[in-house]
Amino acid sequence: MSLTVSTHKIPGYGPTARTAKQLAPQAVRLVERALPGRMPDVEIVLTHTRGMAELGAAAEAELAGVLDKRSRNRAERAARRQARDASGRALPRAAGSVLVLVNVDQHASPAQFAVTLVHELVHAMQFARKHVTEQVVRDLRAHFGVERQSRRQARQYERLVEEHEQEAYGHEYLADRLVPGASAA
């Protein structure tokens, strides 16, 4: 398991990057102990709203195998709308690793950052489970119009996403071990 922490188009966020590099290995160990399975390779990228949209859309298009520029632009517009309110986002990659995008503008304190980091790392562990990445790819390919999926498959994917979100919210208490009082923030 390798872990990298980097920034994307955010000059002047040195203290935030140092905090992220300090908290990330501890968060990975906590989440890995709390959930079954192995943590895949994780790349954490600190960015702003526009960067989340750019990197998220590019990762989704790569995972779905979409090369069409028009589809990529449409995906980036949709990702921009989604990124306005998101503090973080985890995306599986084709090579089996996970990309975790964190919006630095949404985090006023290390406690809020710790909660988001734990939440997204729980998603990273979920992507390592059997057949989860295949379902994500199938849904993305349907979203991009590459392949169709049945209504049953779409409902099954929606249920999976809801279960994963509930599990991630349920493990946010682990952030208290990184920064005391984090889950209360």
Gap between the Cα atoms of 180 and 148, Å rounded = 47
pTM over 0.75: yes
Report residue 46 as tokens.
């600190």
In the DSSP assignment, the letter for residue 173 is G
Residue 79 pLDDT: 87
Distance CA 51, CA 36 (A): 32
In a domain, 183, yes or no: no
Side by side, which strands form the sheet with 42-47?
3-7, 42-47, 98-103, 88-92
Q: In this predicted structure, what is the pLDDT of residue 185? A: 61
In-domain check, residue 96: yes
Supply the mean pLDDT for the chain.
93
∠ CA 137-139-140 to the nearest 5 degrees?
65
Measure the CA–CA gap between 116 and 183, rounded to whole angstroms: 10
Residue 185 in any domain: the answer is no
User: Does 171 map to a domain?
Assistant: yes
Residue 184 located in a structural domain? no
Q: Count how many domains the chain has.
A: 1
The residue range of the domain holding 144 is 3-178
Which residues, given as ranges, of the chain have pLDDT below 50?
none
